[in-house]
Amino acid sequence: MIPYSVDLFEKRESTLIALPLYNKYAARTEVTEALILIGPIKQALMLYYQENGGFSSQEPVNDRHDALGIPRRDDFGADYVRRIQVQRNTGRIRVFMDNAAHPLIAGKRFEMRPTENLGVITSWACVPVGNQDRRIDGEFIKSCM
C-alpha cells in the first residue's frame, strides 16, 4: 500500500486559496464587534425618535450621545473600533474602524442609516462611507446590509 502524499504544488495552491479566505473571515469577525456595539445605540435612537418626534440635534457630538444615554464617541472600549458617532439630525450611526484592526478594514468607515415611516424607524441600511481610501468594502458589512 502506498501512503497518501500531497505534492508541493497541491499544497501551495490550497494555501493560496485558503489565506485570502481566512483574511476576509478575520476582517469580518472584527467588524462584528462594531455591529454588537451598534445594537444598543439603535435602540436608544428609536426611543429618542419616538419620544421627541425626530433625531437629536445637539452639538457637539458628545452632547448628542449624552442625550441618548450612550457612551461618548471615543469611549466604547472596543478593540477594533476607534469611534462610533451619531450624526446630527439624521440618526445615522457612523463607525470608524481602528487602525489596529485587520489591514483589510483598518481605518475604514461605514454607517447605519435609519429608515423612517409614519414616525417610526422601520429598518436600518448599512452603507460604506467616506472617501475611497476610507470607505469599507461592502463585502465586510454584508451581514448588516
Q: Could you report the per-residue pLDDT of 33-84, keeping only the tens digit for each?
A: 999 999 999 999 999 999 999 999 999 999 999 999 999 999 999 999 999 9
Residue 8 confidence (pLDDT): 44
Write out the residue range of the structural domain in which residue 85 sits.
8-144
110: helix, strand or coil: strand
CB 83 within 8 A of CB 96: yes
Task: Label residue 11 by pLDDT band (50, 70, 90).
Answer: very low
Q: How many domains does the chain have?
A: 1
Q: Could you report the per-residue pLDDT of 17-34, keeping only the tens digit for each?
A: 667 889 999 999 999 999
Q: Which three three-digit cell numbers place residue 33?
A: 464587534
Domain-located, residue 14: yes
Query: What is the CATH classification number for the domain harbouring 62?
Result: 3.30.700.10
Q: What is the pTM of this model?
A: 0.85
Residue 119 confidence (pLDDT): 84
